[in-house]
Amino acid sequence: MSRWDGTHENLQRAALELFAANGYDRTSTAQIADRAGVSEMTLFRHFASKEALLLDDPFDPLIADAVASRPSDEGPVAAVVAAVRDTWTQFDEATLNGLRDRLRIVAATPVLRGAVERNSARSSEAIVSALGARGISHRRARVTAAAVIAALSAALVHWAEYDDTSIAQAIGDALDVLSGD
């Protein structure tokens, strides 16, 4: 792991620990930087904002790449659904547990709801771009991305709030709904 990646990971871990102990609103970026053993300036080199410590994720580019590699004759919803199914299998349990921890904090923090929508817009744009590269009209690509993001967001928030299923089942259920199953 590179020094950059190690610092990045330490900052996220410190943030999660402090958010869990003190709450999102009562945790400052200075406290997070101090816990991670770096300056606040270093924190902001890694994360544009405090909310980014919870919302930045590696999923968007992977999903976009998977959409772009789907067969050209596959419809937009089918392509995105298959791409998401393939992408989620690439992550280990530790990464997915970290996602659950982050989503639990987000679900419990009303001020972060707008941040989730902004983050979802980035996810949507990645999907729209990948579908556009496949020749799908901008309008159809936007509708497809919005439907998939809404289904995944609902499933992931439910998964984070309750311990009643695995992430694979939660995502699978959302994707099955989108597939008409």
Residues 61 and 150 reside in one and the same domain:
yes
Token pair for 100: 């659950």
Which of 74, 94, 73 has its CA nearest to residue 83? 74
| Domain residue limits at 17 | 3-50
Residues 97 and 159 reside in one and the same domain:
yes
Which of 46, 64, 65 has its CA nearest to residue 56? 46
> CA-to-CA distance for 47 and 99, rounded, in angstroms?
17
> CA-to-CA distance for 1 and 155, rounded, in angstroms?
32
The residue with tokens 């998977």 is: 66
Residues 165 and 86 reside in one and the same domain:
yes
pLDDT value at position 13? 92
Residues 41 and 72 reside in one and the same domain:
no
The structural domain count of the chain equals 2
DSSP 112: G
Q: At 162, which CATH number?
A: 1.10.357.10
> CA-to-CA distance for 34 and 161, rounded, in angstroms?
29
User: Average pLDDT by consecutive 10-residue portion of the chain (181 residues)?
Assistant: 91 94 96 97 95 83 90 93 90 80 84 78 90 94 94 85 81 91 71
Q: At 35, which CATH number?
A: 1.10.10.60
Residues 43 and 93 reside in one and the same domain:
no
pLDDT value at position 145? 95
Task: Tell me which of 15, 30, 50 is where a domain ends.
Answer: 50
Residues 69 and 93 reside in one and the same domain:
yes
Residues 75 and 149 reside in one and the same domain:
yes
